[in-house]
Amino acid sequence: MEFEDRFRHQAQRPKYDCLLFDLDDTLYPLKSGLAKSCLQNIKDYMVEKLGIHPSKIDDLSNLLYKNYGTTMAGLRAIGYDFDYDEYHSFVHGRLPYENLKPDQVLRNLLLSLPYRKLIFTNADKVHAAKALNRLGLEDCFEGIICFETLNPIHKSIVSDDEDDIEFVGSRTTNPTTTCNGSGTSQIFDIIGHFAQLNPSAVLPKTPIVCKPSENAIELALNIANLNPQRTLFFEDSTRNIQAGKRVGLHTVLVSHWNLCYLVETYLLLETIIGCILICPNPPMYYFFFVQ
């Protein structure tokens, strides 16, 4: 009888304790235009604030994003010294947040799920707060793991957009400078590096912690006290998914497709393992594939 009771208890226990969600292009569709605007703002920052020649921007930004996870992390790695607040304000401050609309169906679905729910984003907390507020999802998550969480030497001024949203780890940060203080550091020529047939130099490391670094994911799990084996990670980035799997997370790749037919319904999240979660805003559909 004792064995049967223990077996029944184990069988009834949910497989997951926490649902960990990326934010941008995961909780809202790519067609919102935020990603496109963000990319252009990054390029404008590189030209206007860092003095990089426009002819180098496309190649440089692509190489930095590919090798460091974010362009920001790559810029710091190769020697550019800038204020993180200024960067985030420039890149995210001009985004078309008005394109994000409240998603009542997604909100109801998230609130109905009896699991811990957290946001895990490379973005800064002001952007995360604005996006969640526009989507009407600000109270659907226990907390937000963001840029400031993973890079606690940095501390931003709390804005009005952050009301009622808990930023995991933000209260332990220190209001210190964001830069390394060198001011005149030498810039590593990453374009020239990859132009060589057999580059001998080792790429410089970045001081910024961000996805898809396994260290960043492990740090996020430790801060939020999550067991990777009992956490389901939702992401639109294949390389972030792959990194998550390497640290033991169960993963769900979120892809957005335009279809020519409409089905305006949600399937319960518990039933989408290996199935499809359909967004109510046609013609955009969310496909969730368990990896």
pTM of the model: 0.80
Q: Which residues pair with 19 in a beta bridge?
A: 117, 232
DSSP character at residue 97: G
Tokens of 3: 């064995």
Judged by average pLDDT, the poorest of 5-9, 89-93, 135-139, 245-249 is: 5-9
Query: Residue 172: which pLDDT band, with cuts at 50, 70 and 90?
Result: very low
Nearest to residue 140, comparing CAs of 169, 172, 103, 176?
103
Which single residue is written with the structure tokens 């999802």? 137
Q: Is the pLDDT of residue 164 over 50?
A: no
Q: What's the mean per-residue pLDDT of the chain?
A: 80
How far from the centroid of its chain's Cα atoms is residue 108's Cα? Answer: 22
Q: Note the pLDDT tens digit of each residue in 259-287.
A: 322 222 334 344 443 343 333 343 333 44
Identify whether the C-beta of residue 191 lies closer than 8 Å to the C-beta of residue 46: no
Q: Using CB atoms within 10 Å of the CB of residue 261, give its burial: 0 to 12 exposed, 13 to 18 middle, 19+ buried.
A: exposed
Q: Is the pLDDT of residue 18 over 60?
A: yes
Judged by average pLDDT, the poorest of 46-50, 158-162, 203-207 is: 158-162
Q: Is the pLDDT of residue 214 over 80?
A: yes
How many whole angstroms separate alpha carbon 159 and alpha carbon 144? Answer: 15
Judged by average pLDDT, the poorest of 79-93, 94-108, 113-127, 164-178 is: 164-178
Boundaries of every domain in the chain: 14-29+101-290
Q: What is the pLDDT of residue 91?
A: 98
Tokens of 163: 């009301």
Candidates 3.40.50.1000, 3.30.2320.50, 3.40.50.2000, 3.40.50.150; CATH matching 14-29+101-290: 3.40.50.1000
DSSP character at residue 136: T
Q: Is the pLDDT of residue 173 over 90?
A: no
Identify whether the C-beta of residue 85 lies closer than 8 Å to the C-beta of residue 123: no
**Backbone dihedral angles phi then psi of residue 252, each to the nearest 5 degrees:** -135, 120
Q: What is the pLDDT of residue 25?
A: 93
Higher pLDDT, 42 or 283: 42
| Percent of the chain's residues with pLDDT above 90 | 62
